[in-house]
A and B are shown apart, each in its own frame.
Chain A
Amino acid sequence: MKDSPFGRNRALGVITLFVVIFSIYGFRLLYLQVISPDYRELAGDRIRRREVIFPERGLIYDRNGVLVVYNEPIYNLMVIPNQVSAMDTARFCQLFGMDRETFDKQLQKAKKYSWRKPSVFIKEIKANDYTAAEEFLYQFPGFFPEVRTIRRYPHRAAAHVLGYVGEVDTADIRKSGGYYRPGDHIGRTGVEQTYEAVLRGERGVRHMLVDQFNRSVGLYRGGLWDTIATRGQDLTITLDIELQQYGEWLMQNKKGSIVAIEPSTGEILALVSSPAYDPNLLVGRERSANFQALRTSGYDPMNNRALKGYYPPGSTYKPLMALFALEDEVIQPNFYYGCGGAFRLGGLRVGCHAHTSSGNVQAAIQTSCNAYFCALFKMFMDQKGYKNAEEAYEHWREYMTRFGLGVKVGIDIPGEIIGNIPTVATYDKAYRPGAWKASTIITLGIGQDKMIVTPLQQANMTAAMANGGWWYSPHVVKQVESTDSLLAPFRIRHESGFRPEIFGPVLEGMAMVVSGGTGRQAQVPGIAVGGKTGTAQNPLGLDHSLFIAFAPVDNPQIAIAAIVENSGWGGSWSAPICGLMIEKYLNRSISSPQQLAKEKRMIEGDFLNPPKPVLPVAAAPTSPAAEASVAVPVPAGPAASSQSAQP
């Protein structure tokens, strides 16, 4: 047997400790329950209701300070099942326009979720409808409102840039580590998604005392446990909303895209993807129905063609090819190449159209000579210093990435694709390692073969050329209310490293394209425009019409790329659209009769094969009175400018 060495006095110590602690607890209970009135009074029989105050999402302004997105209050009718007592259900259903069956179903659903916790009974009731029913709400204990806001878009434009706001799903909740709760809103696509963290604000909580008629009679404990909601931060986007609206209007009944960039900053002035849709469709109770309608409407309006459009650049690539050749001193600007109506190499023949032979780079760009640029590509690939075609090709491909081709350019809205500048591996697979050379892939020199460039990349490449060899990542947000750190990636200048003096002749050639070449349709009275047409062959139908441009030539303030699918030759559709956009941006309006005539021809152009997409129509957003002065859409053309996709 092992003896206890310490015996009873330690046992006494333990018992004493037990008694002391229990006595402390006893006195604490006596104090709480009997002596101090503080907590007892609080607990009265009135019911407390914990209300979440949802913060207002940040507003969005365009580059000129015009309000493009605002919030409109909307009401969720909430229910706490164990507070529901006998009531006139028929009256309730009539007030809120629901049938008895739905009522029972909803109540059952709420009970299943929790008897004690509030759940949404009717979602997103319009402010007008709610105020009509509000005064009778006291007859229905257990029901109370929760104020939410929905987004409104007075200009009905820029849906692809702004994105939309939707309810969180379980994946969002899990990813956020519990920040979001069921029923919360979250930005989907566009600026709403990228800048969610600053736009959303901070939730608040309010504890209300309510009487037996379910009416608030004040704050519980004077608001001691309440937290205020912090409004989301406002954003200023780089778009010129008027230009954006105008672009969407010009693109009506066409598939395609326009992207306009301010070259000196990389700020996107307009980003049109057509067919477009009214962003007001994707708010409130009708969102999911409209979402389905849009998806099944044909021509895929939800697809952001500016970022995801899969287009061969065609001849719009030629100025860049010229720059590559000049940079490596494969040619001098006065390089002559005789065009016999085609580029011929052995049995290979790339056709060209009828034009005079080119005496220099400028002229070759002006006439868009296929033979000339095929020759440049061949010479570039065969230049000294590279062991074989693979190495020379790798070098060419690396030049492409310096102008943002074949890579992401880093725009701040989700969904950008890298296009396709084939890798060595692609060609090794298509042919055989070592079995391909310049002549195999010669049409890369004129922007064909497997080359794919998005409209965004085209506009960015144009901006980089107009700048003389550098660019900022294109972006759509100009300013966040309180922080600049989110915009840091857009303050980094990407350098091509090309010699500045080689840009002169190329840009001059592009100016000649507009003044007296293939792109005369892009002319703007009083403004010198540089550009390049492109016609991309499309195996599925009529050629895509492409145009890139910048203006004014001596001090570029806008670089633009436009694509109209299946409309045929580049000069006929994309060029005038670019010209009109440039005039709209630089002069704020279209003035001369011949330009107005061009505008008329553009909006009448219709390249959608029947059946036309049948898009749902959104109710007109009600502008808040205070902001009405800035929020009224001012379309340049005919009044219904923003109904771009409406037949």
Chain B
Amino acid sequence: MKRQSSIWTNIDWVSFGLYLAIMLFGWLVVYAVQFGPQSSSLFNFSGIHGRQLIWIIISLIMGMMILIFDSEFFPGFAWIIYGLVMALVLFVMLTAREINGARAWLEFGSIKIQPSEFAKYATALALAKYLSMPSVNLAEWRSRAGALAVIGLPMLLIIGQKDTGSALVFTSFIFVLYREGFPIGAVVVGAYLAILGVLSLLVEPGYLHSAVALLCLGYAVFALQRSLKKNRQPTLNVLILLMIGMVVLIITGLLTESLWLSVLLAAVFMAVLYFFSQFLRRERRYILLPAGLFLLSLFFGFFIMDVAFNDVLEAHQRERILTLVGKNSDKDANYNVDQSKMTIASGGWLGKGYLQGTLTRYGHVPEQQTDFIFCTIGEEFGFVGSAAFLLAYLALLIRIVLLAERQRSAFSRSFAYGVAALFFVQIAINVGMTIGLVPVIGIPLPFVSYGGSSILAFSVLIFTMLRLDADRLLVLR
């Protein structure tokens, strides 16, 4: 009884206020997008802004219901919710009609629901639950694998729906893992792989081969230097051998054009190194570690990237990535981003004013009410408006992190981090693509883009977090 009465006083009104402000602002922008000579007034709800308002109201009602739930409910039902939503995603993947190339929508007459939006919520809950279990310790490999599996399952299912963009959002849970003690080395390796991936798209195989060899050489020197510090003296022979080997690889890489030749060369090189390492027992690891790294990198750069790029991604996604790294000649793909940038740029300092965006009106940007809605903000509210908008988002994000840190239970903390990370990644990708910093990936801008599933799912995330925060002094598990 005491808890029931305290819920309204314990709510974090700062984040709630920011959430409400952003969402209502988003609704006004949705109205602006479809505003035109044919459109009805703001209070005629037959247009998409009317439908959006209905979803906002549904979201708020849903939020109120969540607030009167017992906070024990969320850790208690985390696995069940996760299981149900995964089953739903699987069901949609297998049975749904294809819309825009993806099997991601559940249709009830004219209402379309996208279960992958709710998979984000379910995964945030499940991951928080998993990380708060006493037996889980991210210092152990078993727990790390378990945590990655919780995140990986929905990703795989959503890739199966051919909705790679939404699947990408799940990488945001890395933030949660990081906060809960995932080793920083893994993050470094991830970044290394990302750079390698981009390079493998950008440069010829031979150059990649050389670049990787150079990197490994750097690593070898670094390792040797460290061991010298620790007064374990490797022989000069090892150093020379490594230097020669890597330099040979760098040069051959520059000379070869064929992928297979460079793999063959690498294999021969490894065999030679292995042979010599037999005579240098003590210093073996200085040779084998960089050599292994080299081999793995090549394998990743050539093989994995090739498969991922050509077989997993859809043609239009390949095109967008190539556009971003500047290798695409397809003008249609570049054109959309160019139009988007131009629309934003036309806003200037203060923008053209609400409902005055001419480029918005003439529909120069595709999918403007959903993925490219930031263009309208840029055009009508200018730099000042869009920067203020981003600041509001940033304030909300920081507020959520601070809320997370004041939790006593690991469940609440992890969940709040999940919420912050999901928002951050979606905002970063969505805004980034409209200003040409990120490839075009079809995901909505939280609370702003037109679309019921998205608004509802994000509201549920926020309200669940608020509910958990209201009981921050309790320990949940």
Q: Which residues of A contact B (CB under 8 A)?
A: 1-6, 8, 10-11, 13-15, 18-19, 21-22, 24-26, 28-30, 32-34, 36, 38-40, 42-43, 45, 47-48, 81-83, 111, 115-117, 205, 225-227
- The answer for the CA separation of A4 and B416 in the assembled complex, in Å, is 14
Interface status of B303 (Cβ within 8 A of chain A): no
Given known A-B contacts A1-B409, A205-B331, A24 and B404 have beta carbons under 8 A apart: no
CB-contacts of B416-434 with A (<8 A):
417, 420, 424, 428, 431-432
The reply to whether A32 and B345 contact each other, CB–CB distance below 8 Å, is yes
The reply to whether A28 and B437 contact each other, CB–CB distance below 8 Å, is yes
Q: Contacts A1-B409, A18-B424, A34-B383 known; list 17 others, CB within 8 Å.
A: A6-B179, A6-B180, A10-B179, A11-B179, A11-B405, A25-B428, A25-B432, A33-B347, A39-B345, A39-B346, A40-B345, A43-B343, A48-B364, A81-B38, A116-B36, A116-B362, A225-B331
- The answer for the CA separation of A331 and B378 in the assembled complex, in Å, is 93
Interface status of B17 (Cβ within 8 A of chain A): no
Contacts of B338 in A (CB 8 A): 225
Given known A-B contacts A14-B401, A18-B397, A4 and B342 have beta carbons under 8 A apart: no
Whole-angstrom distance between the Cβ of B340 and the nearest chain A Cβ: 10
Whole-angstrom distance between the Cβ of B396 and the nearest chain A Cβ: 10
The reply to whether A14 and B178 contact each other, CB–CB distance below 8 Å, is yes
Whole-angstrom distance between the Cβ of B243 and the nearest chain A Cβ: 36
Contacts of B364 in A (CB 8 A): 48
The reply to whether A8 and B405 contact each other, CB–CB distance below 8 Å, is yes
Contacts of B436 in A (CB 8 A): 28
Whole-angstrom distance between the Cβ of B192 and the nearest chain A Cβ: 18
Whole-angstrom distance between the Cβ of B464 and the nearest chain A Cβ: 19
The reply to whether B175 and A14 contact each other, CB–CB distance below 8 Å, is yes
Q: Which residues of B contact A (CB under 8 A)?
A: 36-38, 132, 134, 175, 178-181, 331-332, 334-335, 338, 341-349, 358-359, 361-364, 378, 382-383, 386-387, 390-391, 393-394, 397-398, 401, 404-405, 408-410, 413, 417, 420, 424, 428, 431-432, 435-437, 475, 477
Whole-angstrom distance between the Cβ of B331 and the nearest chain A Cβ: 5
The reply to whether B383 and A30 contact each other, CB–CB distance below 8 Å, is yes
Q: Across the two chains, which residue of chain A brings its CB closest to B134? A: A2
- The answer for the CA separation of A30 and B397 in the assembled complex, in Å, is 22
The 8 closest A-B pairs by CB, nearest first: A43-B346, A39-B345, A116-B363, A2-B410, A33-B383, A32-B345, A39-B342, A40-B345
- The answer for the CA separation of A28 and B344 in the assembled complex, in Å, is 11
A to B CB contacts below 8 Å, 12 in the list: A1-B410, A11-B179, A11-B401, A14-B417, A18-B394, A39-B342, A42-B342, A43-B342, A43-B346, A45-B358, A205-B332, A225-B334
Q: Across the two chains, which residue of chain A brings its CB closest to B410? A: A2
Given known A-B contacts A43-B359, A225-B335, A34 and B349 have beta carbons under 8 A apart: yes
The reply to whether A22 and B178 contact each other, CB–CB distance below 8 Å, is no
Q: Across the two chains, which residue of chain B brings its CB closest to A44? A: B346
- The answer for the CA separation of A2 and B362 in the assembled complex, in Å, is 56
Contacts of A81 in B (CB 8 A): 38
Given known A-B contacts A25-B390, A26-B387, A29-B378, A6 and B181 have beta carbons under 8 A apart: yes
Contacts of B417 in A (CB 8 A): 14
Contacts of B404 in A (CB 8 A): 11
Contacts of A28 in B (CB 8 A): 435-437
Whole-angstrom distance between the Cβ of A153 and the nearest chain B Cβ: 35
Given known A-B contacts A6-B180, A82-B38, A115-B36, A36 and B398 have beta carbons under 8 A apart: no
Given known A-B contacts A48-B364, A82-B36, A225-B331, A32 and B344 have beta carbons under 8 A apart: yes
Whole-angstrom distance between the Cβ of B159 and the nearest chain A Cβ: 21
- The answer for the CA separation of A227 and B361 in the assembled complex, in Å, is 25
Whole-angstrom distance between the Cβ of A561 and the nearest chain B Cβ: 49
Whole-angstrom distance between the Cβ of B417 and the nearest chain A Cβ: 8
A30, A81, A115: which has the most chain B beta carbons within 10 Å?
A115
Whole-angstrom distance between the Cβ of B169 and the nearest chain A Cβ: 15
Contact of A4 among B178, B413, B435 (CB under 8 A): B413
Whole-angstrom distance between the Cβ of B23 and the nearest chain A Cβ: 19
Contacts of A22 in B (CB 8 A): 390-391, 393-394
The reply to whether A25 and B362 contact each other, CB–CB distance below 8 Å, is no
Whole-angstrom distance between the Cβ of B328 and the nearest chain A Cβ: 13
Whole-angstrom distance between the Cβ of B446 and the nearest chain A Cβ: 14
Contacts of B349 in A (CB 8 A): 33-34
The reply to whether A2 and B38 contact each other, CB–CB distance below 8 Å, is no
The reply to whether B401 and A43 contact each other, CB–CB distance below 8 Å, is no
The reply to whether B475 and A33 contact each other, CB–CB distance below 8 Å, is no
Contacts of A15 in B (CB 8 A): 398, 401
